[in-house]
Amino acid sequence: MSTTQSERLRELLEPLVTSQGLDLEEIAVDSVGRKRVLRVVVDSDTGADLDAIADVSRALSAKLDETDAMGDAAYDLEVGTPGAERSLTEHRHFVRATDRLVKFQLAEDGELVARILKVDDEGIDVEVPGVKGRKATSRRLAFPEIEKARVQVEFNRKDKKDMKEEEEA
């Protein structure tokens, strides 16, 4: 059974990332001109700040330097987080996206944009925003119904404090 370079790198680096309190989300090796770029995406339930990224980057660099996992050719190591509009593929991704607006591609019902309210082992409870003055509605999505899910960026979302103040006024 052969393993790809990405799988070997994951086996080598995942314990190191986990020891830093982070989850290894993705590994990709790309060619950019004559150089190769190793991209490592990490995250945690509380997010990963710049200090955590720097610490894990140094640890990964040291580990890669002591092995031949990347071969003899030059490469650049890039360590980052998934970004604002991340795809949700694992249970923990949905948990981390609680209270966020998400665009779902459903197996049978097309697309749905809704806010994640609650996540359990079988699926998620969402709130579908009301349209044209209608009230928001609740809906349950089982994980098998969801083909794709991606967090949406909200620039003008009111936080809970602002919404509570409006309700009291």
Q: How confident is the model at residue 2 (pLDDT cuts 50, 70, 90)?
A: very low
Domain boundaries, given as residue ranges, for the chain = 5-80, 91-153
Residue 68's Cβ-count burial label (10 Å; 0-12, 13-18, 19+) is exposed
> Mean pLDDT in the chain?
87
50 token code pair: 């710049």
Fold of 5-80: Alpha-Beta Plaits (3.30.70)
SS3 assignment, position 139: strand
Fold of 91-153: SH3 type barrels. (2.30.30)
Phi, psi of 91 (to 5 degrees): -55, -45
Residue 139's Cβ-count burial label (10 Å; 0-12, 13-18, 19+) is middle
Residue 164, H or E segment:
helix 160-168
Write the pLDDT tens digit of every residue in 5-51: 888 899 999 999 999 999 999 999 888 888 889 999 999 888 888 99
Phi, psi of 58 (to 5 degrees): -65, -45
Write the pLDDT tens digit of every residue in 73-105: 889 999 999 887 788 989 999 999 999 999 999
How far is the CA of 146 from the CAs of 1, 23, 34, 139, 166, in angstroms? 32, 23, 39, 13, 34
> Facing residues of 138 across strands?
127
User: Would you give the DSSP letter of residue 159?
Assistant: P
Q: How confident is the model at residue 68 (pLDDT cuts 50, 70, 90)?
A: confident
